[in-house]
């Protein structure tokens, strides 16, 4: 097989922005999920960022919480924080609930204090307390890298079963 054939091939990215714009305008959550969910998260984020800020808000408000969380997590923290800040507080909480506590803390730490506090006040008390504790640490310290979720399993399980 001629290996240069594979390396010389250019793959053109698919531009879904017209379909995304139409689905956002129609507020069609099913179409938005169908367009973005099959894509690798980096590609889905690129498509999301090709939209206007207002269109992004609509998309993030309508796609599944899990997909929205994956897109936010894929973005640099400052960008993810900005995307979350623009949403209704209740929707921001739904999306953040899908993320690990260390990511939640990074995002909330990059937000305006009033916006972060509004979100924290709507989170479950225990989750909000965990995130508040993590936000206190600098990002590049051990405390800033830890997460509050616990990984546990039955002591009768083997390492092979757990992994």
List pLDDT tens digits, range 80-125: 999 999 999 999 999 999 998 888 988 998 999 999 999 999 998 8
Domain that holds residue 152: 15-162
Question: In the predicted model, what is the mean pLDDT of the chain?
Answer: 84
CATH number at residue 121: 1.25.60.10
Model pLDDT for residues 2-32, shown as the tens digit of each residue: 555 555 555 556 788 899 999 999 999 999 9
The two three-digit tokens of residue 35, written as one number: 């367009």
Distance CA 118, CA 112 (A): 10
Provide the number of structural domains found in the chain: 1
| Residue 153 covered by a domain | yes
- Report if residue 110 sits inside a domain: yes
Residue 108 maps to a domain: yes
Residue 77 lies in a domain: yes
């Amino acid at each position: 097989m001629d290996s240069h054939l594979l390396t010389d091939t250019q793959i053109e990215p698919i531009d879904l922005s017209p379909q995304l714009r139409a689905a956002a305008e129609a507020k069609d959550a099913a179409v938005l999920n169908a367009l973005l969910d099959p894509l690798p998260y980096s590609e889905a984020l690129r498509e999301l960022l090709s939209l206007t800020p207002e269109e992004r808000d609509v998309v993030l408000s309508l796609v599944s919480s899990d997909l929205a969380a994956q897109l936010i997590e894929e973005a640099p923290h400052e960008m993810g924080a900005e995307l979350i800040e623009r949403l209704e507080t209740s929707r921001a909480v739904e999306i953040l609930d899908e993320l690990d506590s260390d990511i939640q803390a990074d995002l909330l730490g990059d937000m305006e204090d009033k916006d972060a506090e509004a979100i924290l006040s709507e989170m479950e008390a225990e989750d909000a307390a965990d995130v508040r504790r993590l936000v206190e640490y600098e990002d590049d310290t051990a405390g800033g890298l830890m997460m509050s979720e616990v990984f546990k399993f039955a002591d009768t399980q083997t390492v092979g079963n757990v992994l």
